Structure 1
């Protein structure tokens, strides 16, 4: 897929371990592919691939993607291993904030894809990590070793990567329990009517624009919650802090566009880019989690990348000149 803004989605889908997994159905009448995409940690497309390969059974029977589930049925998913693909270690400098035997925390630059994907196998964070580290957790599969969360290609900021399976299990559970601290900062179009607020709007793949996500009616998307706080206002723009309560594909970008304040420079959800950013002004600034082995609370902060720091400085000068 050429549009790499869609290849490495927000930090939004937790990578699931390769294993046999059992689900006890709690609703009736929903398609099995949609149900598993909601309760599991796979996309609906991944679930459909599992079904096509005969890896999913409902009460012991192989199913179709359109099969409907009934309360108290049992779903068993035999998660297939990813095809073996050699990811080439690359000699790319890493901005490392923390590293020990279990985890590594890095500040990903704008323009770097998190993991390899068809059409974009080089200049990835995974390639850079493999050029620095001999071993990463294998749970994420051949293309995503150690990856427990992701951010978009043109979103900069902090990610934690698992070096061991112990760390991968622990971090995945922390993301599922929404206990990981994830604070972003962004420059958005316009002036918000409130200094603080919460956006609670379900997200799903846009049926008309498959490279995009969209807010959908209840029952057709995954619940998504974003909290925002205004930091400063400029001429035609606002600097906001955002906290993810859930982590969905393009969540911040879609939610801000939904309330009429798209992220500046966003090539998918903003209609124009008058600041000339060529990519969304979005930065994963703060990341906090419990260390998988020691139990210590770890918290990290990364400053704006130079291009966004310069943009904020320019907007501040324009405001002061009035």
Structure 2
């Protein structure tokens, strides 16, 4: 696939602008620019080959082909994939609980990535899975993935997430904040805890409902630490229902009651052409089209509150 960027009139300079500088304004990462140079055939200005230290001028069109990719993980058509949103840059999947996002030592196959690879090949697309957010195996909800190497860092810079969590005990209705550093728990590879030696971590939440000795919280993880929401609520004496790793009970639900319910991100304004995409420039985390995708509270979590 080829990407096209038109040099805007706002770059009204007598000597134009260097290709490498224009690429930065187009949100082309240094890693991608290097791959284009050495693996993807280089850059073109109005169809003519151009080096990164040359100049382009308003009205010119800079283009390049995305470099070839590896094959990705083994496709598994038996793993159903529910796509809830897609465009030229992003795809959002609805992940059920008890399904790992991507292969690991403990889960070498049977993951969302394997199902995505099969789905993408059926669509005639790259099977490479680039999740922007990774949620735990037993957490349900939305997973945002980048469609190509250009989109991956762009999406990662501006995505905002909201989770629903059901925690044990009754908390006051309304907003709250847990601001406490998180680090590894002893020598555990998986476990985390609040510790002065940890990294700064902040979770903002709103208690929406209290019922049956449980509280429904809408949580925004301002930082993105491993198990952040789970660890933070456990640290204040309100572990997530079903989260036995951090002290929650499993008598009413067989997994941690955590669901990625909303993702908001930006994608560039673009026009599709037969061989690629024409992208309006400049592109940055503060420009483009805002996309919001939502997912309702899953049935097993809703049953806890009924």
Q: TM-score range by the shorter chain?
A: 0.5 to 0.7
1:289 and 2:265 are equivalent in the alignment? yes
| 1:303 alignment partner in structure 2 | 296
| 1:168 alignment partner in structure 2 | 152
Q: 1:110 aligns with which of 78, 84, 97?
A: 97
Distance in 1 (alpha carbons) for counterparts of 2:111 and 2:269: 28
| 2:235 alignment partner in structure 1 | 258
- Residues 225-255 of structure 1 deviation map (CA, whole Å, 9 limit, x = unaligned): 1011111111311111111111110000000
Distance in 2 (alpha carbons) for counterparts of 1:307 and 1:272: 15
- Residues 173-220 of structure 1 deviation map (CA, whole Å, 9 limit, x = unaligned): 22xxxxx22111111100114632111111111124432011110xx2
Is the 1:137–1:168 contact (alpha carbons within 8 Å) kept by the matching residues of 2? no
1:191 and 2:170 are equivalent in the alignment? yes
Unaligned runs of 5+ in 1: 1-16, 21-83, 139-144, 175-179, 314-322
1:133 and 2:120 are equivalent in the alignment? yes
Secondary structure of the residue that 1:130 maps to in structure 2? helix
Greater Rg by CA: 2
TM-score, with length taken from structure 1: 0.64
| 1:182 alignment partner in structure 2 | 161
| 2:64 alignment partner in structure 1 | none
1:267 and 2:244 are equivalent in the alignment? yes
| Change over 3 Å in CA distance of 1:235–1:189 after alignment to 2 | same
Distance in 2 (alpha carbons) for counterparts of 1:18 and 1:205: 32
Equivalences, count: 220
| 1:148 alignment partner in structure 2 | 132
Is the 2:168–2:248 contact (alpha carbons within 8 Å) kept by the matching residues of 1? no
TM-score, with length taken from structure 2: 0.67
| 2:14 alignment partner in structure 1 | none
| 1:279 alignment partner in structure 2 | 255
| Change over 3 Å in CA distance of 1:149–1:271 after alignment to 2 | closer
1:88 and 2:74 are equivalent in the alignment? yes
| Change over 3 Å in CA distance of 1:305–1:151 after alignment to 2 | same
Is the 2:72–2:127 contact (alpha carbons within 8 Å) kept by the matching residues of 1? no
RMSD: 2.3
| 2:195 alignment partner in structure 1 | 216
Once the two structures are TM-superposed, the CA of residue 119 in structure 1 deviates from its matched residue by 2.5
Distance in 2 (alpha carbons) for counterparts of 1:85 and 1:164: 13
- Residues 85-105 of structure 1 deviation map (CA, whole Å, 9 limit, x = unaligned): 962111122121111232111
Once the two structures are TM-superposed, the CA of residue 272 in structure 1 deviates from its matched residue by 2.5
> Which structure dedicates a bigger proportion of its chain to strand?
2
Once the two structures are TM-superposed, the CA of residue 284 in structure 1 deviates from its matched residue by 0.5
